[in-house]
Amino acid sequence: MNRTAQPIANWHTYLNRRMAALVVLGFSSGLPLYILLSLMQAWLAKSGLSLKALGLFTLLQFPYFWKFAWAPLMDRFNFGGFGRRRGWMVLTQCALFLAIGGMGMLDPRLQVGAVVAATALVAFLSASQDIVIDAYRSETLSEREQGLGAAVYVNAYKVSSMVPGALSLILADRMAWPPVFWITAAFMLPGLLCALLIREPQVYGERPATLRQAVILPFKEFIERDGWRRALWLLSFILLYKIGDSMATALATKFYLDLGFSMTEIGWAANTTGFWASIAGGIVGGVWMIRLGINRGLWVFGALQAVAILGFAWLALAGPSTPLLAGVIGFEAFASMGLGGAAMVAFMSRSTDARYTATQYALFSALASVPRIFVNASVGFVIAETGWFWFFIVCFFLAFPAMMMLPKIAPWNAKQ
């Protein structure tokens, strides 16, 4: 990765306009995904879809995996007069506002085909927005800022879950679904405003001159950097690092409803606690990673996110307890998204070459999304056989393979 490292400074020196922009853009990036994971899940569940059908609906998020296929277009071409990154941001954010609002006007019981198409469209636009925002974040920050920048971005991403996971569910108990979806879609507008105001990042080095170069050179550079073996280790680690946590939270809303919680209780007790835990995770994770470094952050934060999975198993045994629900969700938000997610984003950003940021980061993040998209499609069938408690125990043990790869991928005492 061609970025210049800077000497260590006090953490508050890294708080600047670029970090402020990442708060807004991280929120805008996370909102569509959590609409698909939380709001749409509740919408479809209330419409009478079965547990297995809800699990299969996660397959419609396939664009999050295949986004590296069209990422070279975003590396090669500009859109409009806003620049290479800002132009694509404006396009995808406007389209998402219309697609999310329009989806809520459908009836899942009578228009299943249209719901499937709308879901796939939102996922495609969301994945495209992620490509350009991830590239902007990686290009606009120095290497020393990547850890804190990742924490800021990831926690803003997580905070966006409070809209479809809390506010929208509370509104759904009081009004029809179409206005709920349009109100939720309106939270895309701050990201659009931010895209219009920020500066286009300056990238040093020769960018792809042709579409062929935009497709081939990013993958060629990645393989030739340290060889095939190292490349395969790195890709395997990215694939497995968050697989346990991803599976554990795949049908979280359904889990809470099965325990007997109302949507309002989930919105207020669980997700409100998750909001503050995410903020705390962002502060602690960002500051801590400046001192620890990215490698050690992967070790410490990875262990904590694995432990957080056991909280769901405890809740499955204890039954409906609002304080316990809030504590379990809060710790998961703090440890997984606030800490573990930030370390992974910083690691992936560090692993890209600045000339091909969009394509290489899209490849990495696509692999990281495999559990959520493909593995999670089987979650409903697994739970039907094991029950909730043993399912969460399985998820806990699935966190171990990636942790065992850390000595090779990110040695504790390696110079960073």
Q: Per-residue pLDDT tens for 313-344?
A: 999 998 888 889 888 988 988 888 778 877 88
Q: Is residue 319 part of a domain?
A: yes
Identity of the residue numbered 407: P
d(CA 204, CA 222): 18
Phi-psi region of 377 (alpha: psi -120 to 50; beta: other; left: phi over 0): alpha
d(CA 184, CA 328): 26
Range 272-293 average pLDDT:
77
Q: Is residue 58 part of a domain?
A: yes
SS3 call for 368: helix
pLDDT of residue 25: 95
Around Cβ 91, how many Cβ atoms within 10 Å? 18
In CATH, what number is assigned to the domain containing residue 219?
1.20.1250.20
Q: Is residue 413 part of a domain?
A: no
pLDDT of residue 269: 67
Contact yes or no for 318/345 (Cβ under 8 A): no
pLDDT tens digits, 2-35:
444 444 445 455 567 888 899 999 999 999 999 9
pLDDT of residue 186: 96
d(CA 231, CA 208): 22
pLDDT of residue 55: 64
Q: Is residue 77 part of a domain?
A: yes
d(CA 276, CA 60): 30
Around Cβ 23, how many Cβ atoms within 10 Å? 18
Q: Is residue 414 part of a domain?
A: no
d(CA 50, CA 28): 30
Query: How many domains is the chain partitioned into structurally?
Result: 1
Range 239-265 average pLDDT:
86
Around Cβ 259, how many Cβ atoms within 10 Å? 17
pLDDT band at 166 (very low <50, low <70, confident <90, very high): confident
pLDDT band at 233 (very low <50, low <70, confident <90, very high): very high
Q: Is residue 411 part of a domain?
A: no
Q: Which range in 23-32, 195-204, 218-227 is most confidently predicted, on average pLDDT? A: 23-32
Contacts of 28 (CB under 8 A, 6+ apart): 93, 129, 133, 160, 188, 190, 191, 192, 194
Q: Is residue 412 part of a domain?
A: no
The residue range of the domain holding 276 is 11-406
DSSP code of 133? Answer: H
Q: Is 288 a residue whose pLDDT tops 60?
A: yes
What φ, ψ does residue 293 adopt, rounded to 5°?
90, 165
Identity of the residue numbered 71: A
